[in-house]
């Protein structure tokens, strides 16, 4: 079978093309199949860029939805949701890509080239991992880069966008390629396609890109984390960057309304609320300690102590059970109601409560465990039901 002509390589802005079916293979599981064409505007998944989506329209007007595109040995296969009998070799078909989907990928991919090139210039960083995800672009670098370094690189990358330089596609001869310094993630056999962004990057790449850097709109690094000796970046470009800024502004407005703070004062307000929360947390800790001491003081030396105190977190439950077990050799349990049932902590001085905890979990749909003298967890029952079970199984 002849190789598929790749129209998207010469013109990434071409949205439609007439073609001829070379082969069609049915998929009994889905009711659809896959179709190979003599030429296509659909980009096949590869190089970190997702496949195009769109439609194939047959001569009789039947529309097939293209859900995936892959290349095998130079032949590009289009996965479709249906495969009528008219999809036979030699039949005419018109392919049309989902342009909004494609242009988004062009913005992300070109933005990745710009940022990767800048990071390489500034820090000698190699791009060792790249994927255009549904929400953001993931980029992995070969070397660590500080937060300040990333801010400088982000600014330099956006300057390339503001300059609106052309994105150049060339096919160098072997001699020209040997004299060219360019980035490439792997060895490439045969003709190499070079994408050049003046001032930013020269890279071997078969993906789709904007015609000029201004069409990328903006590059924004959302997050960075240490990863395998380098950094993993989450990046958005173009329309995604705008939507992220709009969402961030909306979140900031919500926070400002809750804190009665202006947009430029939300950080100050959050710090104030955090300080107040910390003070209340310490006060709550002290009051709980007083309550736990009071409850423990009421116990006899070998008395059973099962106490329910609303609003305790796991640490509070543990502290109460431990404090009760200091005052009695009997079984001690701290309980607190929760949305899903009851949080518990069971303790016994010098004893082993693991078997009892296991039985409680089995009887009341719970989970948890711990050491011989103290176990903790939660179950799908009310505190009253837990207390009744414990008293029956002392």
The stretches of the chain forming alpha helices (DSSP H) are: 7-10, 99-123, 147-163, 174-178, 238-259, 266-297, 314-327, 354-364, 383-392
Residue 65 pLDDT: 97
Q: Decide: 55 and 22 in contact? Cβ < 8 Å.
A: no
Q: Is the pLDDT of residue 187 over 70?
A: no
Residue 245 CA to residue 248 CA, distance in Å, equals 5
Q: Sign of torsion, CA 117 119 124 125? A: negative
Residue 186 pLDDT: 67
Q: Is the pLDDT of residue 185 over 80?
A: no
What domains are there in the chain, each with its CATH number?
5-97 (2.40.30.130), 103-256 (3.30.980.10), 289-392 (3.10.310.40)
| Locus of tokens 């880069």 | 145
pTM: 0.79
Over residues 301-323, the pLDDT tens digits come to 999 999 999 999 999 999 999 99
Query: Quick one: DSSP state of residue 199?
Result: T
| Locus of tokens 């970190």 | 48
Over residues 63-110, the pLDDT tens digits come to 999 999 999 999 999 999 999 989 999 999 999 999 999 999 999 999
Q: Decide: 321 and 333 in contact? Cβ < 8 Å.
A: yes
Per-residue pLDDT averaged across 190-215, rounded?
93
The token duo for 302 is 């070998």
Q: Average pLDDT, whole number, for the chain?
A: 94
Compare 265 and 159 and report the one with higher pLDDT: 159
In a 3-state reduction of DSSP, which class is residue 340? coil
Q: Is the pLDDT of residue 188 over 70?
A: no
CA distances from 7 to 3, 4, 212, 330, 358 (A): 12, 9, 19, 81, 66
CA distances from 193 to 118, 196, 262, 311 (A): 20, 10, 51, 64
Residue 260 pLDDT: 86
Residue 190 pLDDT: 77
Per-residue pLDDT averaged across 127-141, rounded?
93
Q: Sign of torsion, CA 6 157 212 117? A: negative
Q: Is the pLDDT of residue 228 over 80?
A: yes
Per-residue pLDDT averaged across 365-391, rounded?
96
Task: Work out the pLDDT band at 176, boundaries 50, 70, 90.
Answer: confident
99-123 helix and 147-163 helix, angle to the nearest 10 degrees: 120
Per-residue pLDDT averaged across 336-350, rounded?
95
Q: Decide: 72 and 117 in contact? Cβ < 8 Å.
A: no
């Amino acid at each position: 079978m002849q190789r598929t002509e790749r129209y998207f390589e010469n013109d990434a802005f071409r949205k439609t093309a007439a073609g001829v079916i070379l082969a069609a293979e049915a998929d009994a599981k889905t009711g659809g199949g896959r179709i190979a064409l003599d030429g296509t505007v659909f980009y096949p998944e590869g190089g970190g860029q997702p496949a195009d989506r769109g439609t194939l329209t047959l001569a009789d007007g039947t529309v097939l939805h293209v859900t995936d595109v892959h290349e095998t040995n130079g032949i590009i296969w289009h996965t479709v949701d249906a495969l009528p009998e008219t999809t036979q070799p030699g039949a005419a078909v018109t392919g049309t890509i989902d342009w909004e989907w494609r242009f988004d990928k062009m913005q992300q991919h070109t933005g990745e080239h710009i940022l990767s090139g800048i990071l390489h210039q500034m820090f000698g960083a190699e791009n060792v991992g790249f994927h255009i995800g549904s929400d953001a672009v993931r980029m992995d670098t070969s070397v660590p880069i500080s937060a300040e370094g990333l801010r400088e690189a982000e600014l330099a990358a956006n300057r390339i966008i503001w300059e609106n330089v052309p994105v150049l596609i060339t096919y160098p001869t072997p001699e020209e390629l040997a004299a060219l310094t360019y980035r490439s993630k792997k060895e490439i056999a045969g003709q190499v396609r070079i994408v050049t962004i003046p001032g930013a990057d020269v890279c071997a790449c078969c993906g789709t890109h904007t015609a000029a850097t201004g069409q990328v709109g903006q590059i924004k690094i959302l997050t960075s984390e240490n990863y395998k000796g380098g950094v993993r970046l989450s990046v958005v470009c173009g329309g995604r960057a705008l939507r992220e800024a709009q969402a961030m502004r909306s979140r900031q407005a919500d926070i400002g309304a809750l804190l009665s703070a202006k947009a430029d004062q939300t950080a100050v307000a959050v710090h104030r609320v955090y300080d107040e929360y910390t003070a209340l947390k310490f006060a709550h800790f002290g009051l709980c300690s007083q309550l736990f001491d009071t409850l423990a003081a009421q116990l006899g030396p070998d008395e059973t102590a099962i106490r329910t105190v609303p609003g305790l977190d796991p640490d509070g439950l543990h502290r109460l059970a431990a404090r009760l077990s200091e005052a009695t050799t009997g079984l001690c349990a701290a309980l607190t109601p929760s949305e899903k049932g009851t949080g518990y902590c069971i303790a016994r001085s010098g004893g082993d409560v693991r078997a009892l905890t296991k039985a409680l979990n089995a009887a009341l749909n719970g989970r948890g465990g711990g050491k011989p003298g103290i176990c903790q967890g939660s179950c799908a029952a009310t505190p009253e039901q837990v207390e009744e079970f414990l008293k029956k199984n002392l």
